[in-house]
Structure 1
Amino acid sequence: MIVEWIPYNDLENINYLTKGGFSEIYTADWINGRYSEWDSKEQELKRFRTLKVVLKTLENVESANQSWFEEAKSHLTISNKWAVVVRCYGLTQDPSNRNYMLVILKMDMDLRNYLQQNHNQLIWKDRMKIIDEITRALYYIHEEKAVHRDLHSGNILYSQFNDH
Protein backbone atom coordinates (compact mmCIF):
# COMPACT_ATOMS: atom_id res chain seq x y z
CA MET A 1 0.00 0.00 0.00
CA ILE A 2 1.19 3.51 -0.81
CA VAL A 3 1.17 5.99 2.07
CA GLU A 4 0.71 9.51 0.78
CA TRP A 5 0.15 13.14 1.62
CA ILE A 6 -3.53 13.72 0.81
CA PRO A 7 -4.46 17.30 -0.10
CA TYR A 8 -7.29 18.48 2.15
CA ASN A 9 -9.23 19.75 -0.88
CA ASP A 10 -9.43 16.11 -2.09
CA LEU A 11 -11.77 15.49 0.86
CA GLU A 12 -15.48 16.35 0.72
CA ASN A 13 -18.50 16.01 3.00
CA ILE A 14 -16.37 16.28 6.14
CA ASN A 15 -18.54 15.69 9.21
CA TYR A 16 -17.74 15.43 12.90
CA LEU A 17 -18.41 11.92 14.21
CA THR A 18 -17.14 11.68 17.78
CA LYS A 19 -14.32 12.36 20.18
CA GLY A 20 -12.20 9.25 20.62
CA GLY A 21 -9.95 8.43 23.51
CA PHE A 22 -7.11 10.54 22.15
CA SER A 23 -8.46 12.60 19.23
CA GLU A 24 -11.51 13.88 17.37
CA ILE A 25 -12.92 11.69 14.60
CA TYR A 26 -14.53 12.91 11.37
CA THR A 27 -15.93 11.14 8.32
CA ALA A 28 -15.31 12.28 4.75
CA ASP A 29 -15.34 11.26 1.10
CA TRP A 30 -11.86 11.03 -0.42
CA ILE A 31 -12.38 12.00 -4.06
CA ASN A 32 -10.72 9.48 -6.41
CA GLY A 33 -9.43 7.57 -3.38
CA ARG A 34 -6.32 5.45 -3.09
CA TYR A 35 -3.97 4.26 -5.78
CA SER A 36 -5.07 0.87 -7.07
CA GLU A 37 -2.91 -0.20 -10.00
CA TRP A 38 -0.13 0.69 -12.37
CA ASP A 39 -1.26 1.55 -15.91
CA SER A 40 1.72 0.46 -18.00
CA LYS A 41 0.29 2.00 -21.17
CA GLU A 42 -0.17 5.45 -19.59
CA GLN A 43 2.85 4.98 -17.30
CA GLU A 44 0.95 6.17 -14.24
CA LEU A 45 -0.72 4.97 -11.09
CA LYS A 46 -4.51 4.78 -11.34
CA ARG A 47 -6.79 5.64 -8.46
CA PHE A 48 -9.51 3.34 -7.14
CA ARG A 49 -12.66 5.47 -6.73
CA THR A 50 -14.13 7.81 -4.16
CA LEU A 51 -13.70 6.22 -0.73
CA LYS A 52 -15.47 6.77 2.56
CA VAL A 53 -12.75 7.58 5.08
CA VAL A 54 -12.29 8.51 8.71
CA LEU A 55 -10.12 11.47 9.66
CA LYS A 56 -8.39 11.12 13.02
CA THR A 57 -7.16 14.51 14.20
CA LEU A 58 -4.02 15.74 15.82
CA GLU A 59 -4.68 19.15 17.31
CA ASN A 60 -2.41 21.86 15.98
CA VAL A 61 1.21 20.96 15.57
CA GLU A 62 2.32 23.24 18.41
CA SER A 63 0.50 21.01 20.89
CA ALA A 64 1.54 17.78 19.20
CA ASN A 65 2.95 15.31 21.63
CA GLN A 66 5.18 12.32 21.10
CA SER A 67 2.39 9.82 21.81
CA TRP A 68 0.25 11.02 18.88
CA PHE A 69 3.21 10.76 16.52
CA GLU A 70 3.90 7.27 17.85
CA GLU A 71 0.24 6.38 17.29
CA ALA A 72 0.39 7.74 13.72
CA LYS A 73 3.58 5.80 13.05
CA SER A 74 1.99 2.67 14.51
CA HIS A 75 -1.15 3.07 12.34
CA LEU A 76 0.97 3.48 9.21
CA THR A 77 3.30 0.58 10.04
CA ILE A 78 0.49 -1.82 10.90
CA SER A 79 -1.49 -0.70 7.85
CA ASN A 80 1.44 -1.44 5.55
CA LYS A 81 2.04 -4.89 7.05
CA TRP A 82 -1.48 -5.97 7.98
CA ALA A 83 -4.17 -3.98 6.20
CA VAL A 84 -6.74 -6.34 7.71
CA VAL A 85 -6.19 -4.54 11.06
CA VAL A 86 -6.36 -0.94 9.84
CA ARG A 87 -6.11 0.71 6.42
CA CYS A 88 -4.35 4.01 6.88
CA TYR A 89 -3.78 5.78 3.58
CA GLY A 90 -1.76 8.76 4.76
CA LEU A 91 -1.97 12.21 6.30
CA THR A 92 -3.67 15.49 5.53
CA GLN A 93 -3.89 18.90 7.19
CA ASP A 94 -6.95 21.04 7.79
CA PRO A 95 -5.96 24.50 6.49
CA SER A 96 -8.46 26.29 8.76
CA ASN A 97 -6.79 25.21 12.01
CA ARG A 98 -3.59 23.48 10.80
CA ASN A 99 -4.60 20.21 12.52
CA TYR A 100 -2.99 17.10 11.05
CA MET A 101 -5.22 14.11 10.40
CA LEU A 102 -4.69 10.44 9.66
CA VAL A 103 -6.80 9.29 6.70
CA ILE A 104 -8.19 5.82 7.44
CA LEU A 105 -10.66 3.57 5.61
CA LYS A 106 -14.17 3.94 7.05
CA MET A 107 -15.69 0.64 8.05
CA ASP A 108 -19.42 -0.14 8.02
CA MET A 109 -20.02 -0.45 11.76
CA ASP A 110 -18.47 -1.42 15.05
CA LEU A 111 -18.61 -4.94 16.47
CA ARG A 112 -21.17 -3.98 19.11
CA ASN A 113 -23.69 -2.83 16.48
CA TYR A 114 -22.86 -5.73 14.16
CA LEU A 115 -23.57 -8.26 16.91
CA GLN A 116 -26.78 -6.48 17.92
CA GLN A 117 -28.05 -6.35 14.33
CA ASN A 118 -27.03 -9.90 13.40
CA HIS A 119 -27.39 -11.76 16.70
CA ASN A 120 -30.11 -14.15 15.48
CA GLN A 121 -28.39 -14.89 12.15
CA LEU A 122 -24.91 -15.67 13.49
CA ILE A 123 -24.09 -19.35 13.73
CA TRP A 124 -21.26 -20.59 15.96
CA LYS A 125 -18.91 -20.81 12.98
CA ASP A 126 -19.44 -17.06 12.34
CA ARG A 127 -18.87 -16.24 16.00
CA MET A 128 -15.65 -18.25 16.06
CA LYS A 129 -14.47 -16.48 12.90
CA ILE A 130 -15.00 -13.11 14.59
CA ILE A 131 -13.01 -14.26 17.63
CA ASP A 132 -10.24 -15.56 15.36
CA GLU A 133 -10.06 -12.26 13.44
CA ILE A 134 -9.87 -10.24 16.66
CA THR A 135 -7.17 -12.53 18.03
CA ARG A 136 -5.12 -12.25 14.83
CA ALA A 137 -5.45 -8.47 14.78
CA LEU A 138 -4.24 -8.24 18.38
CA TYR A 139 -1.35 -10.55 17.55
CA TYR A 140 -0.32 -8.30 14.63
CA ILE A 141 -0.58 -5.20 16.81
CA HIS A 142 1.58 -6.81 19.50
CA GLU A 143 4.10 -7.97 16.88
CA GLU A 144 4.77 -4.27 16.31
CA LYS A 145 5.28 -3.79 20.06
CA ALA A 146 2.15 -1.65 20.07
CA VAL A 147 -0.71 -1.67 22.56
CA HIS A 148 -4.26 -0.68 21.63
CA ARG A 149 -4.98 1.16 24.94
CA ASP A 150 -8.76 1.46 24.35
CA LEU A 151 -10.01 -1.95 23.23
CA HIS A 152 -13.77 -2.55 23.40
CA SER A 153 -16.52 -3.68 21.01
CA GLY A 154 -17.17 -0.08 19.95
CA ASN A 155 -13.57 0.18 18.70
CA ILE A 156 -13.49 -3.08 16.77
CA LEU A 157 -14.70 -2.13 13.32
CA TYR A 158 -16.38 -4.34 10.77
CA SER A 159 -16.83 -4.09 7.02
CA GLN A 160 -19.26 -6.16 5.01
CA PHE A 161 -17.22 -5.61 1.87
CA ASN A 162 -13.46 -6.15 1.78
CA ASP A 163 -12.71 -4.63 -1.64
CA HIS A 164 -10.84 -1.53 -0.44
Structure 2
Amino acid sequence: MGFIQIIGAFFFILIIILYKSDKIFIKCYKICFEKRSKQNFKNWTSGNDDIDKFIQNTQLLAHSDAEKALEWIPYDRFHNIKYIEKNKVYKANWIDGCINKWDDKNQNWERKHQNMVVILKSLNISNISELTLTNKIISCYKVYGITQILETENYMVVLTCEKCNNICNAIHFQLNFGNWTSGNNIIDEFIQNSQLSSHKTYQLSKALEWIPYNKFYDIKCISKSSNKVYRANWIDGYINQWDNEGQWERRHQNMFVILKNLSDPKYNISEFLTIGITQNPDTKNYIIVQKDICEECGYICNAIHFQQNFKNWTSGNNYVDKFIQDTQLLEHNYFVSYNVLEWIPYDKFYIKCIVKDKIYRASWIDGYINEWNDENQHWKRKHQNMVVILKSLNISNISELTLTNKV
Protein backbone atom coordinates (compact mmCIF):
# COMPACT_ATOMS: atom_id res chain seq x y z
CA MET A 1 0.00 0.00 0.00
CA GLY A 2 1.41 3.35 -1.02
CA PHE A 3 1.96 6.31 1.27
CA ILE A 4 -0.98 8.26 -0.15
CA GLN A 5 -3.31 5.28 0.35
CA ILE A 6 -2.14 4.92 3.97
CA ILE A 7 -2.79 8.62 4.68
CA GLY A 8 -6.22 8.39 3.04
CA ALA A 9 -7.16 5.33 5.07
CA PHE A 10 -5.99 7.06 8.26
CA PHE A 11 -8.18 10.12 7.67
CA PHE A 12 -11.13 7.91 6.74
CA ILE A 13 -10.87 6.00 10.03
CA LEU A 14 -10.40 9.27 11.94
CA ILE A 15 -13.54 10.76 10.42
CA ILE A 16 -15.54 7.65 11.36
CA ILE A 17 -14.25 7.79 14.94
CA LEU A 18 -15.07 11.49 15.30
CA TYR A 19 -18.49 11.02 13.76
CA LYS A 20 -19.37 8.14 16.09
CA SER A 21 -18.02 9.90 19.16
CA ASP A 22 -20.03 12.99 18.28
CA LYS A 23 -23.16 10.91 17.84
CA ILE A 24 -22.53 9.21 21.16
CA PHE A 25 -21.98 12.59 22.84
CA ILE A 26 -25.17 14.03 21.41
CA LYS A 27 -27.18 10.96 22.27
CA CYS A 28 -25.71 10.81 25.76
CA TYR A 29 -26.42 14.49 26.34
CA LYS A 30 -30.06 14.02 25.40
CA ILE A 31 -30.40 10.94 27.55
CA CYS A 32 -28.86 12.78 30.51
CA PHE A 33 -31.25 15.69 30.09
CA GLU A 34 -34.23 13.35 29.93
CA LYS A 35 -32.98 11.49 32.99
CA ARG A 36 -32.66 14.72 34.95
CA SER A 37 -36.23 15.62 34.09
CA LYS A 38 -37.62 12.15 34.75
CA GLN A 39 -35.76 11.81 38.02
CA ASN A 40 -37.43 14.98 39.26
CA PHE A 41 -40.99 14.06 38.21
CA LYS A 42 -41.64 12.42 41.58
CA ASN A 43 -40.70 15.62 43.43
CA TRP A 44 -43.54 17.77 42.17
CA THR A 45 -47.16 17.68 41.06
CA SER A 46 -49.68 20.29 40.06
CA GLY A 47 -52.52 18.17 41.40
CA ASN A 48 -53.86 17.81 37.86
CA ASP A 49 -52.74 14.83 35.76
CA ASP A 50 -53.24 16.65 32.45
CA ILE A 51 -51.11 19.60 33.54
CA ASP A 52 -48.43 17.28 34.94
CA LYS A 53 -48.25 15.38 31.66
CA PHE A 54 -48.19 18.57 29.63
CA ILE A 55 -45.28 20.03 31.61
CA GLN A 56 -43.40 16.72 31.57
CA ASN A 57 -43.72 16.45 27.79
CA THR A 58 -42.19 19.91 27.30
CA GLN A 59 -39.28 18.89 29.53
CA LEU A 60 -38.69 15.61 27.69
CA LEU A 61 -38.72 17.39 24.34
CA ALA A 62 -36.43 20.23 25.36
CA HIS A 63 -33.26 18.10 24.96
CA SER A 64 -30.26 20.46 25.03
CA ASP A 65 -32.30 23.68 25.34
CA ALA A 66 -33.55 23.96 28.91
CA GLU A 67 -35.31 27.25 28.21
CA LYS A 68 -37.88 25.42 26.06
CA ALA A 69 -39.07 23.39 29.03
CA LEU A 70 -41.95 24.50 31.23
CA GLU A 71 -41.87 23.85 34.95
CA TRP A 72 -44.27 23.57 37.84
CA ILE A 73 -43.64 26.63 40.02
CA PRO A 74 -44.96 26.58 43.61
CA TYR A 75 -46.99 29.70 44.36
CA ASP A 76 -44.80 30.56 47.36
CA ARG A 77 -41.92 31.22 44.94
CA PHE A 78 -43.62 34.49 43.99
CA HIS A 79 -43.76 37.66 46.05
CA ASN A 80 -44.93 41.24 45.69
CA ILE A 81 -48.04 39.90 43.95
CA LYS A 82 -50.38 42.62 42.70
CA TYR A 83 -53.68 42.25 40.90
CA ILE A 84 -54.10 44.40 37.79
CA GLU A 85 -57.86 44.93 37.71
CA LYS A 86 -58.05 46.31 34.17
CA ASN A 87 -56.33 43.30 32.58
CA LYS A 88 -57.49 40.70 35.14
CA VAL A 89 -53.97 39.36 35.64
CA TYR A 90 -51.42 39.34 38.43
CA LYS A 91 -48.00 40.94 38.37
CA ALA A 92 -45.36 39.33 40.59
CA ASN A 93 -41.67 38.82 41.25
CA TRP A 94 -40.38 35.29 40.71
CA ILE A 95 -37.82 34.64 43.46
CA ASP A 96 -35.83 31.87 41.76
CA GLY A 97 -35.84 33.12 38.20
CA CYS A 98 -35.85 30.89 35.13
CA ILE A 99 -33.72 27.82 34.34
CA ASN A 100 -30.51 28.55 32.47
CA LYS A 101 -28.52 25.27 32.35
CA TRP A 102 -27.49 22.22 34.36
CA ASP A 103 -24.80 22.74 37.00
CA ASP A 104 -22.70 19.54 37.13
CA LYS A 105 -20.84 20.67 40.24
CA ASN A 106 -23.94 21.24 42.36
CA GLN A 107 -26.05 18.68 40.51
CA ASN A 108 -28.88 21.13 40.13
CA TRP A 109 -30.31 23.65 37.70
CA GLU A 110 -28.46 26.93 37.41
CA ARG A 111 -30.93 29.83 37.25
CA LYS A 112 -30.85 33.43 36.08
CA HIS A 113 -32.94 36.60 36.40
CA GLN A 114 -33.73 36.10 40.09
CA ASN A 115 -36.70 38.21 41.26
CA MET A 116 -37.69 38.82 37.65
CA VAL A 117 -41.09 40.41 37.05
CA VAL A 118 -43.66 38.09 35.48
CA ILE A 119 -47.35 37.99 34.64
CA LEU A 120 -49.66 35.37 36.15
CA LYS A 121 -52.53 34.82 33.74
CA SER A 122 -55.53 32.65 34.57
CA LEU A 123 -55.62 29.22 32.90
CA ASN A 124 -59.03 27.54 32.83
CA ILE A 125 -58.78 23.92 31.73
CA SER A 126 -60.91 20.81 31.89
CA ASN A 127 -58.85 18.51 29.69
CA ILE A 128 -55.52 18.26 27.90
CA SER A 129 -56.89 19.45 24.56
CA GLU A 130 -57.97 22.74 26.10
CA LEU A 131 -54.54 23.16 27.67
CA THR A 132 -52.88 22.53 24.30
CA LEU A 133 -55.14 25.11 22.68
CA THR A 134 -54.32 27.61 25.41
CA ASN A 135 -50.62 27.05 24.82
CA LYS A 136 -51.07 27.93 21.15
CA ILE A 137 -52.88 31.12 22.04
CA ILE A 138 -50.11 32.30 24.35
CA SER A 139 -47.29 31.17 22.07
CA CYS A 140 -46.35 34.81 21.36
CA TYR A 141 -45.35 35.12 25.02
CA LYS A 142 -42.33 33.61 26.69
CA VAL A 143 -44.00 31.00 28.93
CA TYR A 144 -41.97 29.74 31.89
CA GLY A 145 -44.39 27.46 33.61
CA ILE A 146 -47.64 26.98 35.49
CA THR A 147 -48.55 27.68 39.11
CA GLN A 148 -51.67 27.60 41.27
CA ILE A 149 -53.11 30.19 43.64
CA LEU A 150 -53.59 28.33 46.90
CA GLU A 151 -56.61 30.31 48.11
CA THR A 152 -58.67 30.00 44.91
CA GLU A 153 -57.03 26.85 43.47
CA ASN A 154 -56.95 28.62 40.08
CA TYR A 155 -54.17 27.55 37.75
CA MET A 156 -52.06 30.38 36.31
CA VAL A 157 -49.64 30.59 33.39
CA VAL A 158 -46.33 32.32 34.21
CA LEU A 159 -45.14 34.45 31.30
CA THR A 160 -43.34 37.53 29.99
CA CYS A 161 -42.63 39.00 26.55
CA GLU A 162 -40.75 36.50 24.38
CA LYS A 163 -38.66 39.25 22.77
CA CYS A 164 -37.87 41.40 25.82
CA ASN A 165 -37.91 38.70 28.51
CA ASN A 166 -39.77 41.25 30.59
CA ILE A 167 -43.22 42.79 31.00
CA CYS A 168 -43.01 45.34 28.21
CA ASN A 169 -45.53 47.60 26.47
CA ALA A 170 -46.47 44.83 24.03
CA ILE A 171 -47.55 42.66 26.98
CA HIS A 172 -49.69 45.44 28.46
CA PHE A 173 -51.36 45.97 25.09
CA GLN A 174 -51.93 42.27 24.49
CA LEU A 175 -53.48 41.67 27.88
CA ASN A 176 -56.05 44.31 26.97
CA PHE A 177 -57.07 42.81 23.60
CA GLY A 178 -60.14 41.20 25.13
CA ASN A 179 -61.48 44.55 26.35
CA TRP A 180 -62.09 46.20 22.98
CA THR A 181 -63.03 45.51 19.38
CA SER A 182 -63.74 47.64 16.35
CA GLY A 183 -66.21 45.07 15.08
CA ASN A 184 -63.96 44.48 12.06
CA ASN A 185 -61.35 41.71 12.17
CA ILE A 186 -59.02 43.41 9.68
CA ILE A 187 -58.96 46.64 11.68
CA ASP A 188 -58.55 44.76 14.97
CA GLU A 189 -55.58 42.84 13.59
CA PHE A 190 -54.00 45.98 12.14
CA ILE A 191 -54.22 47.82 15.47
CA GLN A 192 -53.03 44.81 17.46
CA ASN A 193 -50.01 44.26 15.20
CA SER A 194 -48.94 47.87 15.67
CA GLN A 195 -49.23 47.45 19.45
CA LEU A 196 -47.33 44.16 19.52
CA SER A 197 -44.42 45.89 17.77
CA SER A 198 -44.18 48.54 20.50
CA HIS A 199 -41.93 46.92 23.09
CA LYS A 200 -39.97 50.00 24.18
CA THR A 201 -41.30 53.37 25.32
CA TYR A 202 -39.81 55.15 22.31
CA GLN A 203 -41.82 52.81 20.04
CA LEU A 204 -45.19 53.80 21.53
CA SER A 205 -45.66 56.54 18.93
CA LYS A 206 -46.14 53.77 16.34
CA ALA A 207 -48.84 51.99 18.35
CA LEU A 208 -52.40 52.63 17.18
CA GLU A 209 -55.49 52.55 19.40
CA TRP A 210 -59.15 51.79 19.01
CA ILE A 211 -60.74 55.05 20.22
CA PRO A 212 -64.45 55.14 21.11
CA TYR A 213 -66.23 57.93 19.22
CA ASN A 214 -67.52 59.48 22.44
CA LYS A 215 -63.92 60.35 23.33
CA PHE A 216 -64.10 63.21 20.81
CA TYR A 217 -65.92 66.51 21.12
CA ASP A 218 -66.34 69.77 19.24
CA ILE A 219 -66.24 67.87 15.94
CA LYS A 220 -66.27 70.30 13.01
CA CYS A 221 -65.97 69.81 9.27
CA ILE A 222 -62.92 71.63 7.86
CA SER A 223 -63.11 70.57 4.20
CA LYS A 224 -65.37 71.63 1.35
CA SER A 225 -64.82 68.55 -0.84
CA SER A 226 -67.02 65.47 -0.94
CA ASN A 227 -64.42 63.62 1.13
CA LYS A 228 -65.25 65.18 4.46
CA VAL A 229 -62.42 65.95 6.86
CA TYR A 230 -63.11 66.92 10.47
CA ARG A 231 -61.15 68.48 13.28
CA ALA A 232 -61.99 67.46 16.85
CA ASN A 233 -60.67 67.46 20.39
CA TRP A 234 -59.56 64.10 21.78
CA ILE A 235 -60.38 63.96 25.49
CA ASP A 236 -57.82 61.37 26.61
CA GLY A 237 -54.77 62.33 24.56
CA TYR A 238 -52.14 59.86 23.40
CA ILE A 239 -50.32 57.14 25.37
CA ASN A 240 -46.99 58.25 26.83
CA GLN A 241 -45.85 55.35 29.03
CA TRP A 242 -46.98 52.62 31.44
CA ASP A 243 -47.09 53.99 34.98
CA ASN A 244 -46.65 52.48 38.43
CA GLU A 245 -50.42 52.41 38.99
CA GLY A 246 -50.85 49.71 36.36
CA GLN A 247 -52.33 51.86 33.61
CA TRP A 248 -51.31 54.00 30.66
CA GLU A 249 -50.09 57.50 31.40
CA ARG A 250 -51.39 59.90 28.76
CA ARG A 251 -50.36 63.32 27.53
CA HIS A 252 -51.95 66.21 25.68
CA GLN A 253 -55.49 65.73 26.91
CA ASN A 254 -58.07 67.53 24.74
CA MET A 255 -55.56 67.69 21.89
CA PHE A 256 -56.70 68.51 18.36
CA VAL A 257 -56.90 65.65 15.88
CA ILE A 258 -58.03 65.16 12.29
CA LEU A 259 -60.79 62.66 11.48
CA LYS A 260 -60.95 61.16 7.97
CA ASN A 261 -63.29 58.52 6.60
CA LEU A 262 -61.67 55.13 6.14
CA SER A 263 -63.16 53.71 2.95
CA ASP A 264 -61.05 50.55 2.82
CA PRO A 265 -59.47 49.26 6.05
CA LYS A 266 -56.93 47.19 4.11
CA TYR A 267 -55.24 49.98 2.21
CA ASN A 268 -56.04 53.49 3.40
CA ILE A 269 -54.38 53.62 6.81
CA SER A 270 -51.33 55.90 6.93
CA GLU A 271 -49.10 54.64 9.74
CA PHE A 272 -47.05 57.83 9.87
CA LEU A 273 -49.93 60.15 10.71
CA THR A 274 -52.50 57.80 12.16
CA ILE A 275 -52.72 57.51 15.94
CA GLY A 276 -55.91 55.50 16.09
CA ILE A 277 -59.17 54.40 14.49
CA THR A 278 -62.75 55.09 15.54
CA GLN A 279 -66.27 54.63 14.19
CA ASN A 280 -69.15 57.05 13.81
CA PRO A 281 -72.06 55.32 15.60
CA ASP A 282 -74.63 57.05 13.37
CA THR A 283 -73.14 56.42 9.92
CA LYS A 284 -71.20 53.27 10.94
CA ASN A 285 -68.27 54.65 8.92
CA TYR A 286 -64.80 53.80 10.17
CA ILE A 287 -62.62 56.86 10.69
CA ILE A 288 -58.86 57.22 10.98
CA VAL A 289 -57.63 59.56 13.70
CA GLN A 290 -54.55 61.54 12.68
CA LYS A 291 -52.27 64.13 14.16
CA ASP A 292 -53.26 67.66 13.22
CA ILE A 293 -49.99 68.50 11.48
CA CYS A 294 -48.81 71.34 9.30
CA GLU A 295 -48.76 70.48 5.58
CA GLU A 296 -45.67 72.63 5.08
CA CYS A 297 -43.63 71.35 8.05
CA GLY A 298 -44.90 67.79 8.33
CA TYR A 299 -45.33 68.10 12.09
CA ILE A 300 -47.28 70.09 14.70
CA CYS A 301 -45.62 73.49 14.40
CA ASN A 302 -46.46 76.90 15.88
CA ALA A 303 -48.81 77.70 13.00
CA ILE A 304 -50.94 74.70 14.01
CA HIS A 305 -50.99 75.75 17.67
CA PHE A 306 -52.12 79.23 16.66
CA GLN A 307 -54.74 77.87 14.26
CA GLN A 308 -56.20 75.57 16.90
CA ASN A 309 -56.78 78.60 19.11
CA PHE A 310 -58.60 80.75 16.52
CA LYS A 311 -62.00 79.82 17.95
CA ASN A 312 -61.05 81.11 21.41
CA TRP A 313 -60.72 84.77 20.52
CA THR A 314 -62.05 87.50 18.26
CA SER A 315 -61.44 91.20 17.91
CA GLY A 316 -65.01 91.71 16.79
CA ASN A 317 -63.74 92.80 13.36
CA ASN A 318 -63.32 90.20 10.62
CA TYR A 319 -60.55 92.15 8.89
CA VAL A 320 -58.52 92.47 12.08
CA ASP A 321 -59.09 88.79 12.91
CA LYS A 322 -57.89 87.67 9.48
CA PHE A 323 -54.86 89.96 9.56
CA ILE A 324 -53.73 88.60 12.94
CA GLN A 325 -54.43 85.02 11.89
CA ASP A 326 -52.40 85.42 8.69
CA THR A 327 -49.33 86.47 10.68
CA GLN A 328 -49.78 83.48 12.98
CA LEU A 329 -50.15 80.99 10.12
CA LEU A 330 -46.69 82.00 8.88
CA GLU A 331 -45.03 80.91 12.15
CA HIS A 332 -43.46 77.51 11.44
CA ASN A 333 -40.26 77.83 13.48
CA TYR A 334 -39.71 76.51 17.01
CA PHE A 335 -39.38 79.97 18.55
CA VAL A 336 -42.06 82.52 17.75
CA SER A 337 -40.73 85.51 15.80
CA TYR A 338 -41.47 89.17 16.46
CA ASN A 339 -43.57 89.29 13.29
CA VAL A 340 -46.45 87.33 14.77
CA LEU A 341 -49.36 89.33 16.18
CA GLU A 342 -51.97 88.32 18.73
CA TRP A 343 -55.27 89.65 19.96
CA ILE A 344 -54.69 91.01 23.48
CA PRO A 345 -57.67 91.72 25.75
CA TYR A 346 -57.54 95.26 27.11
CA ASP A 347 -57.72 94.07 30.72
CA LYS A 348 -54.26 92.56 30.25
CA PHE A 349 -52.76 96.07 30.47
CA TYR A 350 -52.16 98.47 33.33
CA ILE A 351 -52.25 101.97 31.87
CA LYS A 352 -49.41 104.03 33.30
CA CYS A 353 -49.73 107.37 31.57
CA ILE A 354 -50.71 109.23 28.43
CA VAL A 355 -47.68 110.10 26.33
CA LYS A 356 -49.68 112.32 24.01
CA ASP A 357 -53.00 112.33 22.23
CA LYS A 358 -54.19 108.71 21.71
CA ILE A 359 -50.81 107.24 22.65
CA TYR A 360 -50.46 105.41 25.98
CA ARG A 361 -47.70 103.77 27.97
CA ALA A 362 -48.79 100.59 29.77
CA SER A 363 -47.58 97.40 31.45
CA TRP A 364 -48.52 94.19 29.64
CA ILE A 365 -49.28 91.60 32.34
CA ASP A 366 -48.68 88.40 30.35
CA GLY A 367 -45.69 89.40 28.25
CA TYR A 368 -45.11 88.14 24.72
CA ILE A 369 -45.18 84.58 23.33
CA ASN A 370 -41.83 82.81 23.21
CA GLU A 371 -42.42 79.11 22.47
CA TRP A 372 -44.94 76.27 22.80
CA ASN A 373 -44.97 74.20 26.00
CA ASP A 374 -45.77 70.59 25.06
CA GLU A 375 -46.16 69.53 28.67
CA ASN A 376 -48.86 72.08 29.54
CA GLN A 377 -50.20 72.50 26.00
CA HIS A 378 -49.88 76.25 26.30
CA TRP A 379 -47.65 79.11 25.22
CA LYS A 380 -44.57 80.00 27.24
CA ARG A 381 -44.23 83.75 27.64
CA LYS A 382 -41.42 86.13 28.49
CA HIS A 383 -41.06 89.55 30.08
CA GLN A 384 -44.24 89.66 32.13
CA ASN A 385 -45.33 93.21 33.03
CA MET A 386 -43.19 94.61 30.24
CA VAL A 387 -43.75 98.24 29.25
CA VAL A 388 -45.46 98.76 25.88
CA ILE A 389 -46.94 101.59 23.84
CA LEU A 390 -50.63 101.56 22.86
CA LYS A 391 -51.32 103.56 19.72
CA SER A 392 -54.71 104.22 18.17
CA LEU A 393 -55.53 102.25 15.00
CA ASN A 394 -58.34 103.56 12.82
CA ILE A 395 -59.38 101.15 10.09
CA SER A 396 -62.38 100.74 7.85
CA ASN A 397 -61.17 98.03 5.50
CA ILE A 398 -58.44 95.49 4.97
CA SER A 399 -56.33 97.72 2.73
CA GLU A 400 -56.04 100.37 5.45
CA LEU A 401 -55.02 97.70 7.97
CA THR A 402 -52.36 96.38 5.58
CA LEU A 403 -51.08 99.90 4.99
CA THR A 404 -50.93 100.55 8.74
CA ASN A 405 -48.90 97.38 9.25
CA LYS A 406 -46.38 98.49 6.62
CA VAL A 407 -46.04 101.82 8.37
Match of 1:54 among 119, 122, 146: 119
Match of 1:92 among 123, 136, 147: 147
- The match for 2:104 is 40
Asked whether the equivalents of residues 111 and 154 of structure 1 are also in contact (C-alpha less than 8 Å), the reply is: no
Q: Does 1:107 align with 2:167?
A: yes
State the structure with more CA Rg. Answer: 2
Letter in 2 for 1:56: K
- The match for 1:30 is 94
Q: 1:104 to 1:43 in 2, by over 3 A?
A: same
Q: 1:17 to 1:154 in 2, by over 3 A?
A: farther
Q: 1:86 to 1:26 in 2, by over 3 A?
A: same
Residues 111-150 of structure 1 correspond to what in structure 2 (within 5 A)? none
Letter in 1 for 2:167: M
Asked whether the equivalents of residues 35 and 45 of structure 1 are also in contact (C-alpha less than 8 Å), the reply is: yes
CA distance in 1, matches of 2:81, 2:101: 27
Structure 1: runs of 5 or more not aligned: 79-84, 114-149
CA distance in 2, matches of 1:28, 1:154: 27
- Runs of 4 or more, structure 1, over 4 Å off, are 64-68
- The match for 1:158 is 199
**Given the two structures, how large is their TM-score scaled by the length of structure 2?**
0.24
- The match for 1:139 is none
Q: Deviations for 1:93-145, whole angstroms, at most 9, x for unmatched residues?
A: 001011110000242223898xxxxxxxxxxxxxxxxxxxxxxxxxxxxxxxx
Asked whether the equivalents of residues 25 and 56 of structure 1 are also in contact (C-alpha less than 8 Å), the reply is: yes
Q: Does 1:69 align with 2:131?
A: yes
Letter in 2 for 1:101: M
Q: 1:10 to 1:111 in 2, by over 3 A?
A: closer
Letter in 2 for 1:36: N
- The match for 2:82 is 15
Letter in 1 for 2:71: E
The count of residues paired between Structure 1 and Structure 2 equals 111
Q: 1:50 to 1:154 in 2, by over 3 A?
A: farther
CA distance in 1, matches of 2:116, 2:141: 15
Deviation (angstroms), 1:73 = 2.5
CA distance in 1, matches of 2:85, 2:199: 18
**Given the two structures, how large is their TM-score scaled by the length of structure 1?**
0.54
Letter in 2 for 1:10: R
Q: 1:25 to 1:154 in 2, by over 3 A?
A: farther
Identity of aligned residues (%): 31
Asked whether the equivalents of residues 93 and 100 of structure 1 are also in contact (C-alpha less than 8 Å), the reply is: yes
CA RMSD of aligned residues (A): 3.3
CA distance in 1, matches of 2:116, 2:73: 13
**Relative contact order, CA 8 A, sep 6+: which one is greater?**
1
Asked whether the equivalents of residues 17 and 25 of structure 1 are also in contact (C-alpha less than 8 Å), the reply is: yes
Structure 2: runs of 5 or more not aligned: 1-66, 161-165, 174-187, 202-407
Letter in 2 for 1:158: H
- The match for 2:56 is none
Asked whether the equivalents of residues 72 and 102 of structure 1 are also in contact (C-alpha less than 8 Å), the reply is: no
